[in-house]
Amino acid sequence: MQLLLAVVSGGYAVGAALNWGSEEVAEIMGDFGLSAAGLLAAVSCYSYARAIDSRERPAWLLFAFSSLMGACGNAVWGWYEVILGEEVPKPSVADFAFLCFAPPAIVGLLVLAKRPVTRAGWVCLGLDSWLIGGSLLTLSWSLALAHAAQTAQSGAPGSVPRAALSLAYPLLDIALVSMVLVLHFRRSETNRSAVNTAIAALALTVLSDALFTSPLLSAGYQSGQLLDAGWFAGSLLLAYAPWGARRMHPGPEPAVHPRGERLHSRPITGSLPALTPYLAAAVCTLGILYNVVDGRKVDRMVVFTGCTVVLALVIRQGIMLLDNIALTQELAQKENHFRSLVQGSSDVIMIAAPTGTLRYVSPAAAGVYGREAEELVGTELATLIHPDDLGRVVHEVRRFLAAPPAEEPTTRIECRFKSGGGEWLNVESTVNRHQGGLILNSRDVTERVRLQAQLQHSAEHDPLTDLPNRALFTRRVRQALTGRRAGDHSTAVLFIDLDGFKAVNDTIGHQAGDELLIEAARRLQDSVRAGDTAARLGGDEFAALILGDGSRDRSAREYQVHEIADRLRTTLSQPYRIAGSEVRVAASIGVAFADPGITPSDLMRNADLAMYRAKAGGKDRVEMYAPQMQAEVVRRAELAGRLRTALHEGEFALLHQPVVSLATGEISAVVAQARWRSAQGILFTPAEFLRVAEYSEGGASAAAGADASRAAELGRWLLEEAVEEAADRHRAGHDVPVAVRMTAQRLLDRAMPVGAVEALLTRHGLPSGALILELAVSDPRVPFEDLERRLAALHRLGVSIALDGFGSGYAAISALRRLPVDMLKLDRGLVEGVVESARLHKITAGLLRIANDLGMQSVADGVDLPEQVMALRAMGCTHGQGAAFSGPLDEYRLRRALVRGTFPVPGGAGQPALAGGSTGGSMVIRRGSHNETPVPPT
């Protein structure tokens, strides 16, 4: 559009310069051509005003009306010259139309101008307009208008209207020029391109009017001359103004200096609005001087106008002076306000030049940095930043300065800053751009950083021992398995558990236990290498990460790590001096290596499995992980699942094995045993399931809680079924006690209080004396005080207590000494070797002598051979249970045996060598009592 505008305007100018080839065409182009251009501008401005919805709409409507008046004037002119072939009369309708061109344009410019916000601003706007208009009027009056006025005073016919018309044109043009010049420096920021183009179009039109009214051109003017090209171009430019500017994209943002500073316009450009009144006064003065120097008499109009211009300048200057005084006072108040804010702020405000030199430092530096602000001014900022942080700070500053200010006005930098005392402070700074340099608003965050470090340390370390906790240990294991160590498979993880620690808590208190853990942690930390990690995972469980040395010899590395683990075991097993007494605990250690592709969780799980294998293998030992350990865990999980299914679907059956008097062969009790009925209908002993349950009750796997719940559920089922069937037999006349095996952990479980046993006996109507609990105590961590209280309560209900597994394990003598036991049940291992082994024969005889001396009944478990019956009876054992008499029986066969009442005794009935107890004893089931061979279905 711009190119088309230039081509059309240039073509019109060329045609006018060549007089269009003929006088007729010149008149047509000079009259109707200008009329067409004015009409185009009117239509364009009107259409634009209809299309927008803003405060600019009235201005463009006025511009449209102004252009329409110009088009009408040219059309009337053409009517006389072209159509009628007459000379245009003066004055005429065309003159009226032309005179109506300037006022709407002036008002339109006022609408587009930036409106003053104060009364003084409006006064200054009027004064500036008069300064410009008065100076132009003075100059024009001196050059041409005075002659027109004198002509009007001559009194010739028609001279007054013509003179008035001659004065009206330049006066309106002067007013329009004044508004153009004044409003050029006060234009609104909205749609600046369209407003500038419209001002340029009006300025071009006024310039052409000024040339037309000059005495040199007005006398010989004819339509179609070169002067018409100015009016034509002005109309086209006004027609283009709204649409051409609308199509253009908004102007680019002010240029940005590479250091982030906007390039401001030159001072002379910004000073032009302030210089305009003085330039106008200078023009007025030149007009007066022109008359004086030319020897002319100074016209009153010139004197009056000049005086009013000077007076306006004085008034304006006074207003500006008052305004400057007010601004100065306001600036001083704001400066004092901001100075108070800066000086009273606890943050340090610094201004750094583009070179990095500090130009200003607020007084708060003395309190924050311990250095006076004057001492820091002129210092290079880089010399105050910690060398380890300098590179990061420089990189961030360069990145910030290169970023567009609109997208990232500020940034935040944290670094260490050197204080006056020489120590390094943690400083957080908010950075802003400032004339190519930086403004830094800094604050001391040393305490916050220290607190964050403490919180981070607390989150990653055990509060008691200050060793890394499980989270930090896991992260370091992950780091050891990734990065440059990813291919080093000699890295190992050690899981360590303190055997006997619970007994320390139970005997001498938790405070002593804490002291023992602290000492154990210190020993562990001192025993590992500098690059390794010792951690406390929780309770009495510790761990160690032994980083690999890149060795490819797996056997040599295993031997080396095994030596480290054994040394740790020895160190941790040394006596501890706690509360003035010597305390001993042992250590079970599991070791796992970082095999290719292993994850941190799998590596730690493998070490955990190896540690529990070490505990299950006798404790106080080191165990290396083997793949079959995981397979065993999977198998136990599958078995636990099968156990749960069997319990829920009623696949378990209850069998009873008689307990027979070795003297008479009479059935004195029956032992309840659970059997699992397979899908093929075969009954299998659940020994494998029970081993899983016992292992779970000891807490020997990650799934211990779930497995223990299955074992507890099986124990509840066994007790309830045994009591119910015993009650049925009791009502049928078979008053034989029933024995149910129960571990000490199960007996102490809160889910099975004493009241539950009493409620069970009451519900089924079984006398309390008809129930025998076979107690299995195999864990040294069992609190004997609680167990003793629970057994005493059961005793008061009439429940008999039998000690299972007597002669083996930890609790044989201790339980006999502390617990209220009624009967002893010999361990199967003793019974199996009582005939072949003279040593076992003597041990068994001694144990039976203890039972007889205490007045307790004794029961031998696993009596399978006649020779064992005779040997045990000879040693004083009162009762036996095993295949020598009967295997486990279903309810039908059991009742038949009870009707019979006795079993044949190998070797015949006879008296034992040692007297003891009555024949009506009870037996206790121990771990080996469930290892019978499968029996056929009934």
Query: Is the pLDDT confidence value at 597 over 60?
Result: yes
Nearest alpha-carbon partner for 611 in 636, 635, 644, 586: 586
pLDDT-derived band of residue 926, with 50, 70 and 90 as boundaries? very low
% of the chain beyond a pLDDT of 90: 18
The predicted model gives 727-756 an average pLDDT of: 85
Closest CA to 262 of 429, 482, 436: 436
Q: What is the pLDDT of residue 881?
A: 93
Q: Which of 879, 912, 913 is nearest to 661 (CA)?
A: 879
Helix (H, G, I), strand (E, B), or coil: what is residue 110?
A: helix
Say yes or no to pLDDT of 54 above 90.
Answer: no
Query: 819 pLDDT band (50/70/90 cuts)?
Result: confident
User: Which pLDDT value is given to residue 311?
Assistant: 78
Q: How many CB atoms lie within 10 A of CB 657?
A: 25
User: What per-residue confidence (pLDDT) applies to 553?
Assistant: 75
Of the pLDDT bands very low, low, confident and very high (cuts 50, 70, 90), residue 519 is: very high
What contacts 931, CB < 8 A, 6 or more positions away?
685, 687, 828
The pLDDT of residue 373 is above 80: yes
Identity at 455, one-letter amino acid code: L
CB 209 within 8 A of CB 175: no
Tell which residue, 211, 223, 182, 217, has the closest CA to residue 199. Answer: 182
Chain segment 328-348, per-residue pLDDT in tens? 888 888 777 766 666 656 688
* C-alpha distance from residue 73 to each of 66, 268, 407, 529 (Å): 11, 41, 54, 105
Mean pLDDT, residues 147-175: 52
**Residue 180, pLDDT score:** 57
User: What is the pLDDT at residue 740?
Assistant: 93
Reply yes or no on whether the pLDDT at 293 is more than 80: no
Task: Give the pLDDT confidence score for residue 915 in this predicted structure.
Answer: 34
Distance CA(802)–CA(815), nearest Å, equals: 11
Lowest mean pLDDT among 139-143, 316-320, 381-385, 613-617: 139-143
Report yes or no: 880 and 662 within 8 Å, Cβ to Cβ: yes
- For 524-577, what is each residue's pLDDT tens digit? 999 988 889 999 998 899 999 998 877 777 788 888 889 999 999 999 999 998
* b/e per residue 336-361 (b: at least 16 CB within 10 A): eeeeeebeeeebbbbbbeeeeebeeb
| Mean of the per-residue pLDDT values of the chain | 77
**685, 920 Cβ separation under 8 angstroms:** no
pLDDT at 650: 76
Mean pLDDT, range 350-354, rounded to an integer: 88
Nearest to 832 by CA among 871, 868, 783: 868
Lookup: tokens for 185: 């420096």
Higher pLDDT, 586 or 199: 586
- Please state the pTM of the whole predicted model: 0.49
pLDDT in tens, 838-878: 888 898 898 899 888 888 899 999 999 999 999 999 999 99
Judge if the upstream peptide bond of residue 354 is cis by omega within 30 degrees of 0.
no
Whether the CB-CB separation of 711 and 697 falls below 8 Å is answered with yes
- Model pLDDT for residues 767-816, shown as the tens digit of each residue: 878 999 998 876 666 777 888 888 888 888 889 999 887 766 555 667 77
> Which runs of E-coded beta strand occur in 55-182?
none
Cα separation, 707 vs 693, in Å, equals 6
